[in-house]
Amino acid sequence: MALAVGCRARPGKGRDNKTGSWRVFKPVFDHEMCSKCGTCQTICPEGCITVDAEGFFDPDYAYCKGCGMCAEECPKKAITMIQEEK
């Protein structure tokens, strides 16, 4: 992102801020255990979990802040938070 004078921005510019750098713990999704219920996507406060063609869910690590709510709420315990080394 090139700097704009006065930190001015057009709508949608928030996407340029890659909040993934805030993360300490990273959610890892196990598709074997996943029942495709979509609770993780509903609960994600960042809105960064998307569903693929097969119906499985995955976070966008560029924006995932590692809050762990998806792992906490997953009824199948298919999401594990692991400490991320940077």
User: Where do contacts with other proteins occur on this chain (CB under 8 A)?
Assistant: 1, 3, 5-11, 13-14, 17-19, 21
Nearer to other proteins, 17 or 35 (CB): 17
How near is the Cβ of 5 to other proteins at its closest, in Å?
A: 5
How near is the Cβ of 19 to other proteins at its closest, in Å?
A: 7
Nearer to other proteins, 5 or 53 (CB): 5
CA distance 15 to 66: 17
CA distance 14 to 26: 22
How near is the Cβ of 34 to other proteins at its closest, in Å?
A: 31
User: Within 10 A of 46 (CB to CB), how many other CB atoms are there?
Assistant: 17
**Between vectors from CA 12 to CA 86 and to CA 62, what angle results, nearest 5°?**
15
Nearer to other proteins, 57 or 63 (CB): 63
**Between vectors from CA 42 to CA 9 and to CA 53, what angle results, nearest 5°?**
90
